[in-house]
Amino acid sequence: MNLFAEVEGSVSAITMDKPLKLYFIPYLAAGHMIPLCDIASLFASRGHFVTIITTPSNAQILPKFNYFNVHTFQFPSQEVGLPDGIENLSSVTDLDSSNRIFQATTLLREHIENFVEQEPPDCIVADFLFPWVDDLANKLHIPRFVFNGFSLFTICAMESLKSHPLPEDVSGSFVIPHFPYDITINSKPPAESKSFIDPLLTIALKSHGFIINSFVELDGEECVEYYERTIGHKAWHLGPASLVHKTTQEKANRGEKCTLSVEKFLTWLNSKQDNSVLYICFGTFCYFPDKQLYEIASAIDALNCEFIWVVPEKKGKENESEVEKEKWLPKGFEERNKGMIVRGWTPQVVILGHSAVGAFLTHCGWNSVVEAVSAGVPMITWPVHSDQFYNETLITQVHGIGVEVGADEWLTTAFRDMEKLIGRDHIEKALRRLMDGRDEAIQIRRRAQQIAKISKHVVHEGGSSHDNLTALIDELKQLKDNKGLNS
């Protein structure tokens, strides 16, 4: 062995044992923050030094772990015209306020850059809504990984449509061109959404790789091969990230403060039969108009099943009477039905994990999808915006673990009003397919439970996500070694 090889081996042996220093920069939205911080916990649980960079109010909704450090910068409330304490997309209910949140993140850039330059890490993992991190990482010669909360399936679909744009005259449903799966999307992506996301994806693909809150078996080997072959980039499946939480209390403390105690939910669910409860939740900021809520309520009324229905709190209307808040309920609904209508945050992972829950009516946000998959709960799909129409096809057409309501209105943002109304008959028909206990429901539930078993295996030793995490940590250590040798 020559002298250089001996020195290199000695340095490697020393540095490989040292913990990595990792910075995670989540976007200021619960759906982005929570899964990325769960992923950060995975690195911290392996003994590495992890720091989350965020703002004071957002620090309060981080998972209640002692695994990582939190470094905060004051949110520029006055500069963007938002009240103190409003620092997250979950706290606003209109497009103007959401744009102010986005504006605030650009004002935080200088502070974050100064901190990172003064205390450089071995790696940065940042949300793709912070494209400027690419310049910062390159300047400091630090590997950068990107998180955007999408599945690899969705990223591939978006890239396929970017490379092979649909003809201008295409409207309605379409088949994704040059894609490993023969699937049909119910609605064409809005041009405004594509013009916003495509440039961000282009910059993201300059990174060392995507961090994916999913597992290879869910996205599919075909999808991974397609991504690496056609895009030539690396994606690291490290999920389902929510499975890092083991106890009921850990799961309940994930995110914002719950409207009701977890004990109240569990006591109610414990009194119900297996697969008898319908869980309904459209995420933190899908605000359906009252007339659409009325149609959903009417379908539930006709179905006459137990339910937990989460309706986002309409911020700024806290002074409304209960009668005004629930004016969209059919007359006598609450007397006829024994379900729970909840305004605000719920311990979703705890609810989905209960045996009483038989189906999940969802907007197909990726966090909700992967949480339902992990729990083995089949889904009734109602996509609204962003990646949700792609997720629907993965659920219903690829894996067969859900049924569609039939939504075909793809909005640019959840804050935009819907023009189309899905009637109670369509909703009831979809709900019955999973809640009536017939052969179709049994087969769908069986497939959902099979993939749930896989999801629990992948995060343990010998599982695909566990092995990916180990391989990624080894690669980061090697990059650190090489940087030390070349400095």
What is the pLDDT, as a whole number, of residue 11? 34
Tokens of residue 413, six digits: 């943002």
User: So what's the pLDDT on residue 50?
Assistant: 96
**Residue 334's pLDDT band (cuts 50, 70, 90):** confident
pLDDT band at 344 (very low <50, low <70, confident <90, very high): confident
pLDDT score at 402: 98
Query: What's the pLDDT tens digit per position in 223-257?
Result: 999 999 999 999 999 999 999 988 888 888 887 88
HSE, CB side, 13 Å, CA atoms: give it for residue 466.
12
Determine how many CB atoms are found less than 10 A away from the CB of residue 460.
10
pTM: 0.92
Token pair belonging to 353: 């994990």
Annotated catalytic residue, options 38, 122, 127, 481: 127
Q: Which pLDDT score, from 0 to 100, does residue 417 have?
A: 73
User: Could you tell me which residues come within 8 angstroms of residue 269 by beta carbon, excluding any fewer than 6 positions away?
Assistant: 277, 351, 354, 356, 357
14-243+460-486 shares its CATH topology with 248-456: yes
pLDDT given at position 6:
33
The pLDDT value recorded for residue 2 is 37
CATH superfamily ID and name for 248-456: Glycogen Phosphorylase B; (3.40.50.2000)
Question: For the chain, what are the domain ranges?
Answer: 14-243+460-486, 248-456
pLDDT digits (tens, 9 = 90+) for 264-299: 999 999 999 999 999 999 987 778 889 999 999 999
Say if residue 316's pLDDT is above 70: no
- pLDDT tens track for 102-144: 999 999 999 999 999 999 999 999 999 999 999 999 999 999 9
Strands (E), 209-353: 209-212, 235-237, 277-281, 306-311, 340-343
Q: Which residues contact 67 (CB under 8 A, 6 or more apart)?
A: 40, 41, 44, 45, 50
CATH superfamily placement of domain 14-243+460-486? Glycogen Phosphorylase B; (3.40.50.2000)
374-401 per-position pLDDT tens digit:
999 999 999 999 999 999 999 999 999 9
> Regarding beta strands 340-343 and 174-175, do their DSSP bridges make them parallel or antiparallel, or are they unpaired?
unpaired
Show the tokens assigned to 342.
């909840």
pLDDT given at position 7: 30
Q: Name 449's Cβ contacts closer than 8 Å, sequence gap at least 6.
A: 376
pLDDT at 12 over 70: no
Pair type for strands 357-362 and 340-343:
unpaired
List, in sequence order, every beta strand (DSSP E) within 298-426: 306-311, 340-343, 357-362, 379-381, 402-404
pLDDT range class, residue 317, cuts 50, 70, 90 = very low
What is the per-residue pLDDT across 216-226, written as a single tens digit (0 to 9) for each? 999 999 999 99
| The one catalytic residue among 32, 237, 245, 354 | 32
Distance CA 448, CA 270 (A): 22
Residue 127 annotated among the catalytic residues of the structure: yes
Euclidean distance between CA atoms 185 and 406, whole angstroms: 11
Amino acid 326: pLDDT: 66
Q: What is the mean pLDDT of residues 14-30?
A: 84
DSSP 8-state secondary structure symbol assigned to residue 307: E
Would residue 164 show up in a list of annotated catalytic residues for this protein? no
Most confident of 90-99, 343-352, 460-469: 460-469
Q: Is the pLDDT of residue 484 over 70?
A: no
* Bridge partners, residue 52, by sequence: 24, 70
